[in-house]
């Protein structure tokens, strides 16, 4: 009977396509918008990925990585003095302007790292040598800067090219592959001391202290020790969506709480849900009404209400799975170029497809329920009434 139910469904081409189209639209809108939202949120913590260190120590009021309150230079030594810390290094992070040879200015994210250990340097160097960062005026730029800082469009920045930061010379010695930042500016690394020279002087210039636990001590224990002994705030840096106590998590939640981004994306996701629900429920109910005479005949011939309900559920969930599959295919068509070009932001945590599937099946279950409600009340005697 379930096979016949599917043939009834596929045979009504118009309604079948309408149902599938509605669910494709809902799936695409929900999955794509959630992934773009997650991508955007992952951009907010891009600095944590591009400046790798197991532990970030910041001023006690800091909640997110893009808004650091400066520390005293001596705080590096205070962190180093904690027993469970293996090493600690200073970090400067700030937004600066680059002046190109043609006189134009570009916003950049300037990162100053410890010249000795190079702690916080980019992991993936695609051209040049990271150790050259210790040379005079040397900077490492990221793959975005290669095009963003090009003086002439189509002529990307290459090793040895020069530009100015705050009237001081900077020369490219390496190019790194990095994740794009939320602010949109490319990352430029230099040594901590040179970063201070590139930036306007302030009383306190240290943005954060990067640290790692001593061997045999857990990161969480080390974080607790640093906080207890220095009064500073220490965060783990395990990656996006890795849970409480992590700087990524804290940063993302700061944006969720303090910006309208989740509301904006949430509205779109809700619209996807409502449109999917409206199209699906209306069309499926209409499909059931169209087949009421046949369902009545089946009921008269001895099909139980349960069997008819099972047929409706099979039809609804089949449409749901097809719509979900095609919707995710379209989402993938959006995702591949987005991931290749790192724009627009796109990151789909494993839970998103499952969540969308759950919502789609919920829509289908609700649509089927409307039909089941009619079928349960259907008197088989109606088939004799012409």
Partner 1 sequence: MPASKSDATLAARLRNVNKSFGDGGSRLQVLKDINLEVRCGDITMLVGPSGCGKTTLISIIAGTLKVDDGSGEVSIFDQDLLKMRQAATTKFRSTNIGFIFQSFNLIPTLTCVENVSVPLLIQGKSTRYAEKKAREMLEQVGMADRMKHRPTQLSGGQQQRVAIARALVHDPRLIICDEPTAALDAKNGTLVMDLFANVARSPDRAVLIVTHDNRIFTHADRIAAMDDGRIIEVHDMDETHPLPENLSHGFHS
Query: What are the residues binding partner 1 (CB under 8 A)?
Result: 1, 3-4, 7-8, 10-12, 291, 293-294, 296-304, 307, 379-381, 383-386
| Shortest reach from residue 307's CB to partner 1, in Å | 7
Name 58's bridge partners.
Answer: 233
| Shortest reach from residue 276's CB to partner 1, in Å | 25
- C-alpha span between 360 and 363 (Å, rounded): 5
| Shortest reach from residue 288's CB to partner 1, in Å | 14
* Cβ proximity to partner 1, 148 vs 299, nearer residue: 299
Helix (H, G, I), strand (E, B), or coil: what is residue 206? Answer: strand
* CB neighbourhood size of 374 (10 A): 15
| Shortest reach from residue 371's CB to partner 1, in Å | 16
| Shortest reach from residue 377's CB to partner 1, in Å | 13
Pairing of strands 233-236, 187-191: unpaired
* Cβ proximity to partner 1, 108 vs 375, nearer residue: 375
* Cβ proximity to partner 1, 34 vs 372, nearer residue: 372
* Cβ proximity to partner 1, 354 vs 373, nearer residue: 373
* Cβ proximity to partner 1, 194 vs 299, nearer residue: 299
Q: Which of 96, 45, 99 is nearest to 198 (CA)?
A: 96
* Cβ proximity to partner 1, 298 vs 335, nearer residue: 298
- C-alpha span between 229 and 301 (Å, rounded): 81
- Burial letters for 300-337: b for 16+ Cβ neighbours within 10 Å, e otherwise? eeebeeeebbbbbbbbbbbbbebbbebbbeebeebbee
| Shortest reach from residue 18's CB to partner 1, in Å | 16
Residues 75 and 230: beta-carbon distance below 8 Å: yes
- C-alpha span between 223 and 243 (Å, rounded): 15
């Amino acid at each position: 009977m379930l096979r016949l139910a599917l043939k009834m469904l596929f045979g009504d081409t118009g309604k079948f396509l309408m149902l599938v189209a509605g669910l494709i639209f809902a799936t695409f809108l929900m999955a794509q918008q959630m992934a773009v939202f997650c991508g955007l949120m992952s951009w907010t913590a891009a600095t944590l990925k591009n400046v790798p260190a197991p532990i970030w120590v910041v001023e006690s009021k800091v909640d997110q990585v893009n808004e650091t309150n400066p520390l005293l230079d001596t705080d590096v030594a205070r962190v180093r003095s904690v027993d469970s810390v293996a090493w600690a290094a200073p970090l400067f992070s700030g937004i600066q302007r680059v002046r190109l040879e043609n006189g134009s200015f570009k916003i950049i994210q300037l990162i100053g790292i410890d010249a000795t250990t190079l702690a916080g340097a980019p992991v993936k160097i695609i051209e040049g040598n990271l150790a050259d960062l210790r040379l005079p005026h040397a900077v490492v730029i990221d793959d975005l800067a290669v095009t963003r800082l090009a003086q002439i469009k189509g002529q990307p920045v290459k090793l040895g090219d020069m530009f100015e930061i705050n009237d001081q010379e900077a020369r490219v010695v390496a190019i790194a592959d990095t994740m794009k930042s939320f602010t949109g500016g490319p990352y430029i690394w230099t040594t901590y001391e040179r970063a201070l020279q590139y930036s306007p002087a302030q009383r306190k210039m240290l943005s954060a202290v990067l640290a790692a636990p001593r061997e045999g001590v857990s990161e969480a224990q080390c974080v607790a020790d640093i906080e207890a002994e220095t009064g500073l705030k220490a965060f783990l840096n395990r990656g996006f969506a890795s849970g409480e106590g992590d700087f990524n998590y804290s940063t993302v939640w700061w944006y969720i709480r303090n910006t309208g981004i989740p509301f904006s994306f949430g509205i779109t996701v809700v619209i996807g849900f409502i449109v999917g629900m409206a199209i699906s429920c209306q069309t499926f109910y209409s499909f059931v009404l169209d087949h009421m005479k046949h369902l009545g005949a089946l009921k008269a011939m001895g099909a139980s209400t349960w069997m008819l309900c099972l047929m409706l559920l099979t039809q609804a969930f089949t449409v749901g799975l097809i719509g979900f599959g095609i919707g995710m295919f379209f989402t993938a068509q959006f995702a591949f170029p987005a991931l290749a070009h790192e724009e627009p932001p796109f990151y789909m945590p494993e839970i998103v497809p499952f969540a969308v599937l759950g919502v789609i099946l919920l829509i289908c279950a609700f649509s089927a329920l409307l039909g089941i409600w009619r079928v349960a009340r259907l008197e088989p005697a109606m088939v004799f009434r012409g």
